[in-house]
Amino acid sequence: QGTMFRCSARCCEDSSASMQEVQRCIERCHAPLAQAQAIVTAELEHFQDRLSRCSLQCQDQAKDALDSGGSEPLVRGQLDACLASCGDQHLRLVPQMARKMRDGLAAIQ
C-alpha cells in the first residue's frame, strides 16, 4: 500500500498537469488494489456459492426423506451429518482457494 500512496503523491507533483490528468494518474496507481480486491472477492463468492449449493442439496434430501415418511429425529440426524460433511469438504478446499488467491495477486505485481 505504501507504493500506492507514493505513486499517488507523485501524480500531484507535476504542477503543469490538469486536475483530470492528476485524477487519471491516481486511478492508475489504485488499479492494482482494485484488481486484488476483485480476485479475493471472486474466490470467496465462488467458495460460498459451492458451500451454499451443498447445504441446499442436504435440505432437499431431508425434505424428500420427510415426504416419504421418514421420522423427524432420524431425518434431522441425517441432515446434520450431511451439513457436517459439506463443512468438511469445503474446509479441505481452503488451501486450494488461498493458493489461487496468492497466484492471482502475484500476477498483478
- The answer to whether 47 and 97 are in contact (CB under 8 A) is yes
- The answer to whether 108 and 36 are in contact (CB under 8 A) is yes
Residue 2 pLDDT exceeds 80: no
The neighbour count for residue 54, using CB atoms within 10 Å, is 16
Q: What is the mean pLDDT of residues 49-68?
A: 97
Residue ranges of domains in the chain? 1-107
Q: What is the pLDDT of residues 73-99, one digit of tens each?
A: 999 999 999 999 999 999 999 999 999
Question: pTM to 2 decimals?
Answer: 0.75
CA dist 38 to 23, 63, 101, Å? 21, 37, 10
**Predicted local distance difference test score (pLDDT) of residue 109:** 63
Return phi, psi of residue 71, to 5°.
-75, 145
